[in-house]
Chain A
Amino acid sequence: MSAGPYTLAAAAAALDEGATTSVALTGQCLDRIDQGNDALRAFLRVDRAAAEEAAAAADARRANGQPRGPLDGVPVAVKDNIVDVTGPTTAGSRILEGYTSPFDATVVHKLRAAGAVVVGKTNLDEFGMGSSTEHSAYGGTTNPWDKSRTPGGSSGGSAAAVAATQCYGALGTDTGGSVRQPAAFCGVAGLKPSYGRVSRFGAVAFASSLDQVGPFARDVKGCAHLLAALAGPDGRDATSSHAPVEDYAAACDQDRPLKVGVVREYQNQDGCDDDVLAAQHKAEQTLREAGATVVEVSLPHAHLAVPTYYIAATAEASSNLARYDGVRYGPRRGEEGGLESLYRKTRGELFGPEVKRRILLGTYVLSTGYYDAYYLRAQKVRTLIRRDYDQAFADVDVLLTPVAPTAAFGIGEKTDDPVKMYLSDVFTIGVSLAGVCGLSVNVAFTDAGLPLGVQLVGPAMGEASILRAGTLVEQGVNLLEKRPQGT
């Protein structure tokens, strides 16, 4: 099999020039899934027939001179906590096994409208709760660069699928880093849009005030093409923003003055590998060489982000997951014992341990007598964290930070220690709490050949700035054609 294009932009260009067809590209992706999925488990569902049909339709549009845009005919994947009508959506949980949604998520609808070919649904930590995809009820995904390691999470299936060219773009969801961290672990680009930039309608809720759907591609430009298709207000999501949608693909190539802030509080972060710091210095150097100025900024409440997040997110999760009771859809257990038994057994047997842990935590922090001390205080700290970012962006255009304290960690390395797992989100969580946007870009590889990323953070609705900064880093490090072995 020929390697073919590796980036989304290259695939789109090849389609545009007639160098390949969507049927050919889609067929290659489906074949790679067939060959690789036993080892990688990036996909929970593969829609060969629907994909081939959509690819043929895209080719027909191009043949008629009426392509819908750069995504027309491009094979993409969708995280399995985003609903679609083609087949089951499990959210990585036994409690939704076999559940098929009667409607498409707004983002799926928009992808299809842009002509993208959906090849299947990708693996994830159950309900997006995890940082390694090991908490999938259907078995974890492995990292295409090293099969003994995790791809990160919770959108590990989407990141791994893009890295392994099983698709050219993918959707993930990011609540505290679930797009950005697996992007870094798998050596691809991943964007968490500003809160409200992309509709959440049809994304299975984990923590409503933090969840955002975000794109993956090997290249920053690919993310920009996907964001352009996804962004904008939605009448079915009251939290979606009416802020104007910019030309994100053009923004990647538009020269603009960039003042970059590096965060003082992250300089001596505990447990941060030297490789990660070196990768950040490399990105900083690259941006300077491209003409950016780099200054130090402060996020004084950065150290409070992880505890604040694990109160706010679990509180919302405990509420959002109350609907999974076996009454209306999904599998059911214990109904022979009456209503109480139905609830206890369905939820007790079909939720995984990490989900139960978070429901319990969230229930606790919302309970009478604890609400003020936990939930309410977390909301106040969240306001302080948001102000930190506002102040930083009064001074700089983007922030440059690590994505995670380490490169991809080994399978099983952190599953016994949830707190250790939670702390690996330290650099991404503040961005989610503040509702601003963050882009993870591959900048280097460890000596062992594991990808390392950096995070570029922009203000709310400031996606154009981070896409430009990300493009500069990507061009400077020139690693886009490096691919995992055997893909």
Chain B
Amino acid sequence: MSVHHDYETVIGLECHVQLQTASKLFSPARNRYGDAPNENVDVVDAGLPGVLPVPNRRAVEFAVRLGLALGCDIHLTNVFARKHYFYPDLPKGYQISQFARPICTGGSVTIETDQGEREVRLTRIHIEEDAGKTLHRPGETASFCDYNRAGTPLLEVVSEPDLFSADEAMAYYKALREVVVHLGICDGNLQEGSMRADANVSVRKKGSGALGQRTETKNLNSIRFLGQAIEAEAHRQVVELSAGGTIKAQTRLWDADKKESRVMREKEEADDYRYFPDPDLPPVVLTAADLATIESGMSELPRARRARYQDTLGLAPEAAATLCADLALAEYFEQAAAGHKNPVSVANWILNDLSRLMGERRTDDDEGGFSAATVGIPPAAIAGLVTLIDDKVISSTIAKKVFAELAADPGLRPADIVEAKGWRVQRDEGALRALIDEIVAQNPDQVAQYKAGKDKLFAFFVGQVMKRTKGQADPADVRRLLQAALS
């Protein structure tokens, strides 16, 4: 594989992000995945004679959110254009898209690489409608069309050729997914096709500034396939060039089963799409005030949130990252930690005991994420529990028992549980000293060994005391009095 070391891979990605609006981009039909074929099809989606598109302003708002989040220039006057081609899954014979004036230009996505964070520049983000699906059933000569997806709103996010390995491309895709999910504009469900990528791949001799001839590999619907397809295509190109061949402009299709791509069409035969402004759609015009309203309603981006958790709240990087990877979990933490003296401990309880409980109680509806409703325990209870420990009202051993009570009955308050059960820390030093004396007297052998230098036995005495006090003694008090008794 030595030839590979002479080449570097250059990648630009076009990602299609399906927007989770209630209705479609230009029709009142429901925008939902997974229904029976042609269930969510309005006369507009079917392209019947006489129908007209009416723009869904919510989709435009979603595009603005992404543009703001990624630092794009946002264009206030939005013209929709028709892109023409014939295919059975395209009901009107044209797709409504944006051409000369996309809603967003510029901006960037921040990715993590081995060398640290890097900005991947964006060319543009535009709004368009999706096509339906053509179904070819084995053994049947006829094909079938399902137009449920026809008219679904998409954002096409086009990057500059700023990615230099499959790993970087995957990191970019993950980062973009994290952003759109956190903005609440896409469910990020890759299995259902909520995000799909086309990869433009070329290779060039290292040190060469010029870009090589690129190919486009279409419809990569998972992060793994994206990585595999880029690796395979870069390899194919290097082998071809090393053998003295040339790379042709092609559109290729990735076969995830065979782990190889095949030519879909040569670009020379590319269609002339005959774009022109859609005369059925007056420009959708936004004002600066619209942008301000949209921005004020946006949730904080994961990167900014992570930084705040680390820098302001003092969380460890791993804890901050885990919380920020799930918006529901992060929001739960925010509520529990709001105004709390010890956010680090609050985070630990959420990431350990509460997350374990979530794992036990997970239902199919939770789709792998955290759900405050499923765990049941309100954020205030976790905050209260940590406060009880910090104020030395209970020990951490008792705290585990309080948590178990909360899990059984989320309506209770931690302080009430402690009172009802009589679990307050023992503060009667005389009684504690008497108990310690008793234990010292009952274990003469251990005392002798300890005094002979077997320091580890100190923990044995602590354990004995805690056991006899049912965990209600303050471990610090116990240690102090024990040391005095054993010296």
| Interface residue ranges, A against B (CB under 8 Å) | 82-83, 89, 91, 96, 99, 101-103, 105, 200-205, 207-209, 235-239, 315-316, 318-319, 321-323, 325, 327-329, 339, 343, 363, 366-368, 371, 375
Contacts and interface: CB of A to CB of B under 8 A. Distances in A.
14 contacts: A82-B50, A201-B50, A202-B50, A236-B52, A238-B55, A239-B280, A239-B281, A319-B274, A322-B93, A325-B86, A328-B46, A339-B88, A366-B84, A368-B274
Given A209-B279, A315-B276, A328-B91, A322 B52 contact: no
A316 B88 CA distance: 21
Contacts of A318: 274
Contacts of B49: 83, 89, 91, 96, 99, 101, 204-205, 323
Contacts of B84: 319, 322, 366
Looking at chain B's contact residues, is the secondary structure mostly helix, strand, loop, or mixed?
A: loop
Nearest to B92: A323
A321 B47 CA distance: 11
A346 B302 CA distance: 53
B93 A366 contact: no
Contact of B50 (A205, A316, A322, A339): A205
B93 to A, nearest CB: 2
B225 interface: no
A82 B52 CA distance: 13
Sorted nearest first, the 5 A-B pairs with minimum C-beta distance are A322-B93, A209-B279, A208-B279, A366-B274, A202-B50
Interface in B87-128: 88, 91-94
A319 B50 contact: no
Most chain A beta carbons < 10 A, residue from B47, B272, B274: B274
Given A315-B276, A319-B84, A366-B276, A235 B54 contact: yes
B50 A239 contact: no
Interface residues of B, number: 29
B437 to A, nearest CB: 87
Contacts of B93: 319, 321-323, 325
Nearest to A238: B54
A101 B50 contact: yes
B48 A102 contact: yes
A69 B343 CA distance: 72
A328 B47 contact: yes
Contacts of B51: 201-202
A368 B282 contact: no
A101 B48 contact: yes
Contacts of A236: 52, 54
A339 B87 CA distance: 9
A319 B52 contact: no
B45 to A, nearest CB: 11
Given A236-B54, A319-B93, A323-B91, A329 B48 contact: yes
A371 B276 contact: yes
Contacts of A366: 84, 274-276
A324 B73 CA distance: 39
Interface string B39-82: 00001001111111111000000000000000000000000001
A327 B272 contact: no
A38 to B, nearest CB: 28
Nearest to A83: B50
A325 B88 CA distance: 8
Contact of B276 (A105, A203, A339, A375): A375
Given A83-B50, A208-B280, A319-B93, 9 more contacts: A91-B49, A102-B48, A208-B278, A237-B52, A239-B282, A316-B279, A323-B47, A325-B86, A363-B274
B439 interface: no
A235 B47 CA distance: 18
Contacts of B145: 327-328
Contacts of A329: 48
B84 to A, nearest CB: 6
